[in-house]
Amino acid sequence: MSASDNLIPVIVSKVVEVNSIIKRFEFKHINGDALPAFSGGAHIVVEMIDGATKRKNAYSLMSSPFKLGQYAISVRREDDGRGGSKFMHEKVVPGMEMKISAPVNLFALDLRAKKHLMIAGGIGITPFMAQMTQATELGLPFELHYAARSASQAAYMGSLKAQFGDAVACYCADIGDRLNLEALLSDQPLGTHVYVCGPKGMIEAVVQTATNLGWPAAHIHFEHFLSPPMGKAFSVHLAKAGIDIDVGPEQSLLEAIEASGTPVNCLCRAGACGQCETQIVACDGDITHNDHWLEDDQRASKKFIMPCVSRFSGKRLELDL
Ligand code: FES
């Protein structure tokens, strides 16, 4: 059973062009009902029916957790991606009916923290928008450090400064503003938790710097917003179902398994939650793992695969599904 099994019918209530690469989409329940409650950092899975192709992508909720009449997400257009963001940008318009999953939170604020230190890169700002609203409402101390290539590409930078004032610091690389992680992470009160969402390099730098400075691992939170990569088509045998399935170049292995009607667990669809971990029965070829879940020895054993983000090339891959 996965979060995206019981989908909620919604109507696209608004589409806003935030800048040249980012659009915001707002959804209301098709019956006008309140949408399920969530906390800052949660994501939903959006189902995209694009002709014969069905995609499901996860996006962080950026709207207020205290206003459940609608959800909002922002989508960065990735022209080199599998087509999900392109579909959202080109085909999704107000009034359109779509389906979304209930929210799941793998990046929640730890309410035991004395202070919440948030670090965002680019479109990684979106989970923090809901978290900051939650922190403000609950009176939790927080500050946001938001880095982007330029002010024109930094979605919501102006409005966040206006709404949260000195709690928000912005860094635009094109004018030479740089976030000094070592200085920032060295100068925090005991009991602070750090949260980072953004490009892979930024997440690694924050985790490494905090670890080097002696931050406890339980105080370091990160969210990868990895979308399933494209690749060459391949075939897989599902041993329990007794079927062969084909995975197209723009399709994830998870999507191909779902399309076959075979049940598989999943929450994040991004290689982070561990829910889709699947045992390999036989593998004659190479797996490109792409996940943030498996340990190196598990990868080397060729006994495990994360179907949401991993791909295969070779003669035969047989899964315990
Ligand atoms: S669905 Fe979360 S790791 Fe695959």
CATH number at 306 reads: 3.10.20.30
- Tens-place pLDDT, residues 181-235: 999 999 999 999 999 999 989 999 999 999 999 999 999 999 876 678 889 999 9
- Tens-place pLDDT, residues 46-75: 999 998 888 899 999 999 999 999 999 999
Residue-wise over 155-187: b if at least 16 C-beta within 10 A, else e?
Answer: bbbeebbeebeebbebbbeeeeeebebeebbee
Statement: residue 141 has pLDDT above 70? yes
Domain count, the chain: 3
Q: Is the CB of 58 under 6 A from ligand 1?
A: no
Q: Is the CB of 272 under 6 A from ligand 1?
A: yes
- Whole-number Å distance, alpha carbon 78 to ligand 1 midpoint, is 21
Domain end residue (candidates: 223, 242, 264): 223
In this prediction, residues 88-110 reach a mean pLDDT of 97
Report if pTM > 0.85.
yes
**Token code pair at residue 219:** 């105080």
Is residue 254 packed enough to be buried (19+ CB in 10 Å), middle (13-18) or exposed (0-12)?
buried
Distance, in Å, from the CA atom of 80 to the CA atom of 294, rounded to the nearest integer, reads 26
CATH number at 76 reads: 2.40.30.10
In this structure, is residue 229 part of a structural domain?
no
Q: What is the pLDDT of residue 1?
A: 47
In this structure, is residue 228 part of a structural domain?
no
Distance, in Å, from the CA atom of 58 to the CA atom of 43, rounded to the nearest integer, reads 6
Residues 205 and 128 in one domain: yes
Residues 80 and 99 in one domain: yes
Nearest ligand 1 atom to alpha carbon 272? 3
Q: What is the pLDDT of residue 52?
A: 86
Q: Is the CB of 8 under 6 A from ligand 1?
A: no
Domain end residue (candidates: 105, 126, 159): 105
Nearest ligand 1 atom to alpha carbon 308? 4
Nearest ligand 1 atom to alpha carbon 265? 1
Nearest ligand 1 atom to alpha carbon 273? 2
- Whole-number Å distance, alpha carbon 169 to ligand 1 midpoint, is 32
Q: What is the pLDDT of residue 225?
A: 63
Q: What is the 3-state secondary structure (H, E, C) of 230-275?
A: CCCCEEEEECCCCEEEEECCCCCHHHHHHHCCCCCCCCCCCCCCCC
The residues with which 57 forms a beta bridge, in sequence order, are: 46
Domain end residue (candidates: 105, 130, 156): 105
Q: What is the pLDDT of residue 3?
A: 52
Distance, in Å, from the CA atom of 56 to the CA atom of 74, rounded to the nearest integer, reads 15
- Tens-place pLDDT, residues 142-187: 999 999 999 888 999 999 999 999 999 999 999 999 999 999 999 9
Site of tokens 């062969």: 244
Q: What is the pLDDT of residue 82?
A: 82
- Whole-number Å distance, alpha carbon 304 to ligand 1 midpoint, is 13
Q: Is the CB of 289 under 6 A from ligand 1?
A: no
How far is Cα of residue 216 from the mean position of the Cα atoms in its chain? 24
Statement: residue 258 has pLDDT above 90? yes
Domain that holds residue 218: 115-223
Determine the Cα angle at 315 with ends 310 and 320, to 5°. 55
Nearest ligand 1 atom to alpha carbon 293? 3
